[in-house]
Amino acid sequence: MKNAALRLKIRGKNISQKFGFTHEHDDVYSKSILGDKEANILIKGNLQVVEKSMKLYRKNGLWKSCTLNT
């Protein structure tokens, strides 16, 4: 993937800002990772999880139609 971009959002208490997360509101923190090896690895991993979930939902009839374009 070229020019990959990923925006991570995490909810929790006492999330350390030393890892590059920015406090947005309440217990929500975010971090952007743009166009580097780390972003590509995370994006590919997330797409694999989403794809497996979609297949499981289709198999169990929970989604009639779904596609994943990468």
Six-digit token string for 14: 């006492």
Residue 29 structure tokens:
């923190």
Cβ–Cβ < 8 Å for 29, 43 = no
2-14: pLDDT as tens digits: 566 667 777 776 6
- Alpha carbons within 13 A on the beta-carbon side of 37: 0
List the structure tokens of 43: 């994006």
Kindly indicate the confidence band of residue 24, based on its pLDDT and cuts at 50, 70 and 90: confident
Q: Which residues contact 10 (CB under 8 A, 6 or more apart)?
A: 21, 28, 29, 30, 31
DSSP 27: T
In this prediction the pTM is 0.39
